[in-house]
Amino acid sequence: MVLTRPVVVTGANGFIGRALIAHFRETGRPFRAAVRAWDPEVPRPPSVVVVRDLATAAEAELAALLEDASAIVHFAARVHVMRETEIDPAALYRAANVVATARLASAAVRAGATRFVFASTVKVNGEFTVAGRPFRPDDPPAPQDAYARSKLDAERELGRLCAGTPLVPVILRLPLVYGPGVAGNFLALQDEIARGRALPLGAIRNRRSVLGTGNLVEAIDAALDAPVAPRGVHFVADGESIAVPDLVRAMAAALGVEARLRAVPVGLLRLAGALSGRRATVLRLTESLEVDPATFTTATGWTPRRSLAHGLAATARWWRLRHSI
């Protein structure tokens, strides 16, 4: 089933939202892009709608956003903050991630939409996996921070509001997503590699699931177009997980530079992280975190077509263009 009415995309000017909108333009899928702000000096296309805050927007504003929509892809969120400075971050996460999702879902039910694709996070399941045992959708949730707890609460609210209605919730718990426009830790690592910095990561022996935007946008196509909507929680990821040192080597190859890895014992890395206040960052680099996308593949037929090398090459091209300006 191919949906022909517009698909509403929230967070459309974010990293992943921009990739999806570009994909929809390329493939000809009708869409309506919700953004928080727009430069008044730049003409705004009819497909772009400004909604400053989904948690507090008037009902009429949400109704106009979702008018005649076939489906919603909900990316807008307050994402994980590495160095939190807010006094009450839990309240901010709840407003942006739980309240906004619930209000959007209620408006979608009233508008007669039939699918709600919700971008959640692997962090709902926890921070690490045992080697060879990836997270699966039926594993018990174990969120460790306010961000992950807010995403789990949003998943549950979405399920509650969709129950007994034609609106089907499709929850995609995402691992690390990379691609052109990436920010955060991935971009910081890419900067270090490009500058030829020696990285003390050579002794790490872990496995991490990652997801390129090229594979993610096709997974969203599958969630929207599957004859039977893939209700419930699923994971999506690239075809193979990878160890952090191998990821560094692959990123360096894409950038055309040498990977400078130093084999510092993992125990020393963790000690340095604890002493420097970066324990969580070091644990993320050294522990495994894998997911199993089998349920989504079974439900939709989706498999990741693009390799890690393909995604990293696209990311490297964007990085070089960004640094040539």
pLDDT in tens, 156-208: 999 999 999 999 999 999 999 999 999 989 999 999 999 999 999 999 999 99
In a domain, 187, yes or no: no
pLDDT higher than 80, residue 3: no
Examine the pLDDT at 324 and tell me if it is beyond 80: no
In a domain, 165, yes or no: yes
Gap between the Cα atoms of 233 and 51, Å rounded: 27
Question: Do the beta carbons of residue 31 and residue 40 sit within 8 Å?
Answer: no
Q: Into how many domains does the chain fold?
A: 1
Residue 72 · residue 17 · CB < 8 Å: no
Q: 80: pLDDT confidence band, cut at 50, 70 and 90?
A: low
**Which residues are tagged catalytic?**
147
The distance of Cα 115 from the centroid of its chain, to the nearest Å, equals 18
Give the H or E element holding residue 71. strand 71-74
Average pLDDT for the chain: 93
Contact 87, 132 (CB under 8 A): no
pLDDT at 145 exceeding the cut of 80: yes
What is residue 10's three-state secondary structure? strand
- pLDDT of the residue at 79: 81
Question: Does 171 map to a domain?
Answer: yes
Using CA atoms, how far apart are residues 315 and 325, in angstroms rounded to an integer?
16
Residue 216 in this model has a pLDDT that exceeds 90:
yes
Is 284 a domain residue? no
Q: Which two tokens stand for residue 315?
A: 């990311």
| Residue 251 within any structural domain of the chain | no
pLDDT of residue 87 exceeding 80, the answer is no
pTM for the model: 0.93
Is-contact 201 285, C-beta < 8 A?
yes
Asked if the structure places residue 258 within a domain, the reply is: no
Domain boundaries, position 77: 7-178+211-237+290-305
Q: Looking at the domain assignment, is residue 254 inside a domain? A: no
User: Does residue 306 sit in helix, strand or coil?
Assistant: coil
Residue-level pLDDT at 152: 98
pLDDT at 88: 78
Between 68 and 3, whose confidence is greater?
A: 68
pLDDT of 219? 98
Which tens digit of pLDDT belongs to each residue from 24-73?
A: 999 999 999 999 988 888 888 889 999 999 999 999 999 999 999 999 99
> What pLDDT sits at residue 281?
85
Start-to-end CA distance of the chain, whole Å, equals: 43
What CATH number has the domain bearing residue 167?
Answer: 3.40.50.720
pLDDT band at 1 (very low <50, low <70, confident <90, very high): very low
Strand partners, 176: 210
The per-residue pLDDT for 205 is: 94
Torsion of CA 57, 112, 98, 281, to 10 degrees: -110
* Residue 245, in any domain of the structure: no
Cα–Cα distance, 219 to 303 (Å, whole number):
8
Let me know how many helices (H) and strands (E) the chain has, helices first.
12, 9
Contact (Cβ atoms closer than 8 angstroms) between residue 248 and residue 193: yes
Q: Which residue has the tokens 């999702």?
A: 101
